[in-house]
Structure 1
Amino acid sequence: MKTKFILIFFGLSLVFASCEDVYTEEPSAFLAPEDLNSEGGALALLKGAYAGLQLRSYYQQDFLMQAEVRSEYMMARGSWADVGRYDLVARSRSRINDAWDDMYNAVNRANTVIATVPDLDIDEALKTQFVAEAKALRGLHYFNIVRSWGAVPLRLEPLESLDNIALGKSNVDAIYDQIILDLTDAINSNALPATFTGGDQGRLGLHAVKAILAHVHLTLGNYAESAAVSKEVIDSGEFQLEPDLATVFSPEDGATHSGEMLSVVWVREGSSGMRLLSFMHNSSLGYSSAGWRVLLGNLDAPVITSQWDDTDLRKNFSLYNTPEEVAVLSSSIPMLFKKYIDSNGAGQNAHGNNQSIYRYADILTMYAWADAMANGTPSADAYEALNQVRRRGYGVDITTPDAGIDYTGLSQDEFMDAVWNERAWEFILEGKRWYDMKLMPKAKAIGLINGANLGEFFEDDKDWLYPIPQQEIDNNDELTNADQNPGY
């Protein structure tokens, strides 16, 4: 079975809670000081930091679900329906609060490694590597936090008591500066292997950290820097696009592929598996251990209806389309997704499909995006990067030009539309579309929202960011209601 590198947390974790006690100890499997001061103890502490990615309200559910449902191609049923309409009710705000809690929990775990490991009596090379990994994790967490909430408290030391809870917001620029510093420190440490494989799958290798940095620069509009970092990964020759989509998203133990960069590793065990499948499927088809039919395609979104070619293999792979599948659809549930299937899941929270955070298709499409924006026109290299992803989508040889499939001769605006469409088709149900929309020209993104008939509740001054949890404002003496994001 899959090695559970990131599933067990050893050591003390301070967990953000929604009750009056803002932080509570998580007492699972504490290490005695003498155990910590060993290579095994340090590795256990690092495992705890990686386990932050798997927290219920981070990549297992709420952070990922909120991002996906806010994309214009996605609707939802039940208690998630309001999110897809940009009309947050109390239940959805509660889930956003939970995501904040778990994401800062993950930050605290990384901070604990960064603060603790340098003082341990262990091999210096391992210390450098573990701290580099923890800095990369912290950079990833804050990247997810800042692009979701904007200006927030920037905690860089472990919280060990209630005495140091008060901390004001840092501005967005300062947070991004720290993110870039953390990622650059990790890259320049010369301590990270190119990739991690086998039982270490799920750890941040050098090229995975570069993928995050490329994405950060792209988000900031540092297009030349983003293109340069992406090109380093492309030129490394470490990755290729896996031709078989089923292999990319396989739930089987040890599943990996030639484009694997960073994934949350899930297993079919207890509550240690992917939960997204339970929200996607109709239970009668046996594609998952539960089928709540929560995530619905929006038939008013052209990107997944009229613009998505029926001969694109990703469309048939990602959407219900066989007669058996179509038979379970209805006017109230018009489209369901099947990108992730695990017929042998051990429960609603225990499917084996890994959740990709970055894979080689990310690097190729980010490079195409950044290079075109940096140059003001798509270059031959930008076309080739985008066309490789497109060719894989159509099932033809990835490296051989194909006149019937390849993009060519596009204007800058047409090329950028092609980049955004390819990323929508490639990364559906991977939590990327909403954040891509936030990087588009605002009129373009609002046009997509309105064109998908989702503009009734959308407020331009409010809905680009989530509300800061009220309990954070109430319990942090350095915050007041004036620090709340606009419109909330």
Structure 2
Amino acid sequence: MLSRNAWKYIYVPVIAGLLATSCGKDFLDLNPEATINGDAFYKNETEIKQAVNAAYNVLQALGRESYWIFGEMRSDNTAFQYNTADRGREQWEFVDEFLVGATAECINNFWRNSYTGISRCNDVLTYITEVEMEDAARNQYIGEVEFLRAFHYFNLVRQFGGVPLRLEAVQSPDAALSKGRATVDEVYAAIIADLADAVEKLPAAYTGADLGRATEGAARTLLAKVYLTQKKYTEALAELRKVAALGYHLLPDYAAVFDPGNKHHAESIFEIQYLGSQTGLFSTFMYTFAPYTSGSSVTGDTKTGINGSGSGWNIPTQDMITAYEAGDKRKAVSLAEGYTNSDGVFVNIPYVKKYNHGFVEVGRTNDNFPVLRYADVLLMMAECLNELGYTANGEAFDLLNQVRDRAGLPAKTAQDIGTQAAFRDAVFHERQLELAFENHRWYDLVRTGNAITIMNAHGVREKQQHAYIPSNAYQVTSNRLLLPIPQTDVNLDNLEQNPQ
């Protein structure tokens, strides 16, 4: 029998953490108003909606740390600014260098927060059947948490391989232990089942305070990405065409896509929502991604110190900087190659600029983090079409060139890309630039089979440029494509560890 504390450690119960909102507030207004007793909750539609809101809330914590650490810093896009004085987050560096271990706090945070989100979704799905409400509302809430649960499992299976499948609410310590690690195929089957149901239940759009919730388009786009990862190109293309029919389109200006004053625009399919004006709901990417030596030169915030291990992360690599073609408008939006300090001296330390739009209040920013957007849909469609059969100057070229045209780049033709393999490489390259610093790069490296070759070559260059990188860093093997499972969960839940 597990102790009560062990149960909590393996599987965080949701009830004590439910974040109450009133119906008239924005669904992001998730600050707790009271501790909620599980026996008295889930009695009406308002409480179900509060529970659904709480399921979204965990994305904010994951977005502030885990998603970019494991989606970008694990790739060749970004690294870190070595901080000689403050070594408090060395494990983040180890992620970048493929040296991270099973006891790392960042690994634990990613796993724990993901399963907290899954737990909240499971609770909604368990109790919603007992609550009286209109079918349309019930279907919407079910679809939302199915989307969120699928999103968590998709991230987990791509980073850890087969993971425990928890698809029902845990109502007692005795039920806390999992059945062990499911197979990768079993996890993907659960993801697809959730999304296949969600696409039928979710509305195409929202208005007012509900803007930002998961939509049919979000569920179909995620389902297409799942199929693409499995190399099921016909199925992926079918979903992507349905997304395209929903009315999304590229914004004329790439910079406008990320402007916090322009949230929920026609290109946005799903974003992690942040509110800079509210305690606990604000984002901090501008500060985290600023060089720790930059003071207020990058943030413009003279009252928030930038001098410790909380800054200097997700720093663009030289490989990323040189990947841009001459004249690519996206480069200046996405990154800066350095900053001018208070003495007027240019410091050659690059930083991510895509989420640098000033602060709302001291230490708080209002930037959302994009998860799914229409440019990604166009590039996935182009990839699927090419994999199903290369056609010189066909539809896949048109889709690729829509993205390039907005970037100010010349169109690609069959004279430039004359084979299926060459087109495959062109789409892969375009995804790196269009979706830079949006947490797609690592997953693209793995699913295309490029991770080991590209990351080992990248590691050689990083070691040549930075003397502080250990000699055993960047020794990427097939085993190291998966993260180690948190050791505490291996011990308490009797899980098989991933070999490293």
Q: Which moved more, 1:22-31 or 1:213-222?
A: 22-31
2:338–2:351 contact (8 Å) kept in structure 1: no
Structure 1 portions without partners, runs of 5+: 1-14, 396-403
Counterpart of 1:370, as a letter, is C
In 2, distance between residues paired with 1:171 and 1:339? 37
Greater mean deviation of Cα atoms: 17-26 or 354-363? 17-26
SS at match of 1:159: coil
User: Which residue in the other structure is 1:213 paired with?
Assistant: 223
State the match for 1:386 in structure 2. 400
Residues 219 and 454 of structure 1: is their aligned pair in 2 closer, same or farther, counting only changes over 3 Å?
farther
Query: Which amino acid in 2 is paired with 1:116?
Result: Y
- SS of the residue 2:280 aligns to: coil
Per the TM alignment, residue 73 of structure 1 is displaced from its structure 2 partner at its CA by: 2.4
SS of 1:342's partner is coil
SS of residue in 2 equivalent to 1:256: coil
CA deviation string 1:387-445 (max 9, x = no partner): 111111118xxxxxxxx334443122221121111111111111110000001234x75
Selected match of 2:48 from 21, 26, 42: 42
* Partner of residue 334 from structure 1, selected from 317, 328, 349: 349
Q: Is the 8 A contact 1:22 1:475 kept in 2?
A: no
The question of whether the paired residues in 1 share the 8 Å contact of 2:340 and 2:346 is answered with no
1:275 and 1:471 map into 2 onto residues whose CA distance is: 29
User: Could you say if the C-alpha distance between residues 418 and 166 of structure 1 is closer, same or farther in structure 2, counting changes exceeding 3 Å?
Assistant: same
8 Å Cα contact 1:288-1:341 kept in structure 2: no
State the partner residue of 2:483.
Answer: 466
* Shift in Å, 1:128: 1.8
Aligned length: 447
Q: RMSD between aligned alpha carbons? A: 2.8
Contact 2:12 2:119 in 1 (8 A): no
Q: Which residue in 2 is equivalent to 1:94?
A: 105
1:412 aligns with 2:423: no
Over 3 Å counting, the alpha-carbon distance change for 1:216 and 1:160 in structure 2 is: same
- How do 1:65-80 and structure 2 match up within 5 A? 65-77=69-81, 78=83, 79=89, 80=92
Mark the CA change 1:390 to 1:172 in structure 2 (over 3 Å): closer, same or farther: same
Classify 1:441/1:239 alpha carbon distance in 2 versus 1 (closer, same or farther; 3 Å).
Answer: same
SS in 2 for 1:458: coil
State how 1:297-336 maps to structure 2 within 5 Å: 297-299=316-318, 301=319, 303-305=320-322, 307-320=323-336, 324=340, 330=347, 334-336=349-351
For 1:197 and 1:347, the matched residues in 2 are separated by: 30
State the partner residue of 2:469. Answer: none
Amino acid at match of 2:112: D
Letter aligned with residue 313 of structure 2: V
User: Which residues of 2 match residues 11-410 of structure 1 at below 5 A?
Assistant: 23=12, 25-26=16-17, 28=32, 29-31=34-36, 36-54=42-60, 56=61, 58-77=62-81, 78=83, 79=89, 80-88=92-100, 93-167=104-178, 168-188=180-200, 191-236=201-246, 238-252=247-261, 255-268=263-276, 269-281=278-290, 282-287=294-299, 289=301, 291=306, 292-299=311-318, 301=319, 303-305=320-322, 307-320=323-336, 324=340, 330=347, 334-348=349-363, 350-376=364-390, 380-394=394-408, 404-409=410-415, 410=417
Distance 1:87 1:347, change over 3 A: farther
Which amino acid counterpart does residue 98 of structure 2 have in structure 1? Y
Rounded Cα–Cα distance in structure 1 between residues aligned with 2:113 and 2:423? 38
Secondary structure of the residue that 2:336 maps to in structure 1?
coil
Q: 1:46 to 1:425 in 2, by over 3 A?
A: same
Contact 2:102 2:486 in 1 (8 A): no
Partner of 1:486: 499
CA–CA separation in structure 2 for the residues paired with 1:421 and 1:222: 21
User: Cα distance 1:373–1:379, how it changes in 2: closer, same or farther (>3 A)?
Assistant: farther
Quote the Cα distance in structure 2 between the aligned partners of 1:449 and 1:219: 22
1:317 & 1:381 partners in 2: Cα distance?
Answer: 28
CA contact (8 A) 2:102 2:484 kept: no
Contact 1:61 1:275 (8 Å CA) reproduced: no
Shift of 1:212: 0.2
Native 8 Å contact 1:63 1:96 kept in 2: no
Cα distance, 1:18 vs structure 2: 11
Q: CA deviation at 1:372?
A: 0.9
Matched AA of 2:44: S
In the TM superposition, what whole-angstrom CA distance separates every residue of 1:324-366 from its partner, at most 9, and x where no partner exists?
Answer: 4897664xx6322211113123344x31111111010111111
Decide whether aligned partners of structure 1 residues 180 and 415 sit closer, same or farther in structure 2, where only a CA change above 3 A counts.
same
Structure 2 gap ranges (5+): 19-31, 84-88, 464-472
Cα-to-partner distance string for 1:61-110 (whole Å, 9 max, x where unaligned): 1233222101112111343322222122577x221111100000000111
1:368, 1:381 within 8 Å by CA — same for their partners in 2?
Answer: yes
In structure 2, the CA distance between the partners of 1:207 and 1:90, relative to structure 1 (3 Å rule), is closer
Decide whether the 8 Å contact of 2:72 with 2:439 is kept in 1: yes
280-289 vs 140-149, which moves further: 280-289
Preserved contact between residue 61 and residue 276 of structure 1 (Cα < 8 Å): no
